[in-house]
Amino acid sequence: MTKIIKTVGVCGAGGTMGAGIALVAARAGFATVCFDRSGDTLEKAAKQSIGFLDKSVERGKLDATKRDGIVASMVRTTKLEGLADCDLVIEAVFEDLSIKRELLGQLDAVCAEDAIFASNTSTLSITEIASGSKRPERVVGMHFCLPAQLMKLIEMSPGILTSEEVFGAAWQWTETCGQTPVKTQDKPGFILNALLVPFNNDAIRAVEAGVAEPADIDRAIKVGLGYKMGPLELIDLIGLDTQVRLCEAFYPITLDPRAATPPLLRRMVAAGLLGRKSGRGFFAYEGNTMFGA
């Protein structure tokens, strides 16, 4: 029988992704438990979420009564036991296999036998994460896109041992939330990152090879292909250090040379050129304004 989901827990709800996922759940009418070890980050995330909902009201996308209902349906906790009544727990904690495996082991002890555990991992294997739980058949991949409260796409991946019933229930839940799920195998980077990380690296290598200036590379991609953002502008946005971390996650698993960290990227990170957040990456920024593009 398909699991009925009424209460949803989000682990790592103090983070940007976790907070966004919690908003998706609460907005769809689910009682939502926001869990994070840090009470401060939880409070901060809650304020940002309320700010987001307030803006939705201002823009006429949400009425005030509904906003109040959403806020009321979200509870915060720094204790894992607070997730005990959750039918579905979505983890969005740090992208580290041992941390995620350990968390699932702890959730085993707290949550009901028929609870569903979902991982928001973007790079790690669902099957490997699920091996941290004594009930791997109840673990499913559920990768949201940033910002989760705005992006509809969810990459859904069953692990080797995931039961069809669990996958179906999780899939149905994403649709109930108004999201658009797509099914992928449990492979590194699923679809999005498997295509994007090497593509971004190729753009960096083109700069390094002197093929063209960064601005010309981005303009070519935007005008020629109709992309909203060029690859180098995108790397500046996500952070050059983050791109290094993605490469370091991918390359050892895939051994795909395109996924290996480009030497120029390493040198730029060493020089403190991290992209928008440091004021300079492939382009220079002042505040939110971009120069050089």
Q: How far is the CB of 222 from other proteins (least distance, A)?
A: 9
CA-nearest of 76, 70, 91 to 35 is 76
What is the pattern of x (binds other proteins, CB under 8 A) and - over residues 239-258? ------------------xx
Cβ contact 258:201 at 8 Å: yes
In the structure encoding, which two tokens stand for residue 109, read together? 């002890």
> Which of 280, 270, 236, 17 shows the shortest CA–CA distance to 148?
17
> Least distance (Å) from other proteins to the CB of residue 145?
5
Give the CB-side neighbour count of residue 232, counting CA atoms within 13 A: 29
**Which of the ranges 7-15, 41-49, 126-134, 198-206 carries the binding residues for other proteins, by CB under 8 A?**
198-206
Omega of the bond leading into 231 within 30 degrees of 0 (cis):
no
Question: What is the secondary structure of 134-164 as a DSSP string?
Answer: S-GGGEEEEEE-SSTTT--EEEEEE-TT--H
Catalytic residues: 122, 143, 155, 193
Q: CB under 8 A: which stretch of 74-82, 84-92, 176-184, 244-252 binds other proteins?
A: 176-184
Q: How far is the CB of 133 from other proteins (least distance, A)?
A: 24
User: What CA–CA distance (Å, rounded) separates 8 from 218?
Assistant: 41
Q: Does 182 bind other proteins (CB under 8 A)?
A: yes
Helix (H, G, I), strand (E, B) or coil at 194: helix
Q: Please, which of residues 38-77 interact with other proteins by CB under 8 A?
A: none
Site string for other proteins, 203-222 (x = CB under 8 A): x--x--xxxxx--xx-xxx-
C-beta closer to other proteins: residue 31 or 192? 192
At closest approach, how far in Å is the CB of 226 from other proteins?
A: 4
Query: Least Å distance between CB 255 and other proteins?
Result: 12
- Confirm or reject binding of residue 153 to other proteins (CB under 8 A): yes
Would you give the binding string for other proteins spanning residues 131-150, x where CB under 8 A is met? Answer: --------------x-----
Q: Is the CB of 35 or the CB of 251 nearer to other proteins? A: 251
Cα separation of the two ends of the chain: 55
Collapse the DSSP code of 180 into the 3-class scheme (helix H, G, I; strand E, B; otherwise coil) and give the result.
strand
Give the list of residues 6+ apart from residue 166 with CB closer than 8 angstroms, or none. 3, 116, 137, 138, 139, 140
Using CB under 8 A, which of 50, 71, 110, 192 touches other proteins?
A: 192
Beta carbon of residue 251, minimum distance to other proteins (angstroms, whole number)? 14
Cα three-residue angle 181-111-146, rounded to 5 degrees: 30
The backbone torsions φ and ψ at residue 253, rounded to the nearest 5 degrees and listed phi first, read: -85, -40
Q: Which chain residues interact with other proteins by CB under 8 A?
A: 145, 151-153, 155, 180, 182-185, 187, 190-192, 194-196, 198-199, 202-203, 206, 209-213, 216-217, 219-221, 223-229, 231, 257-258
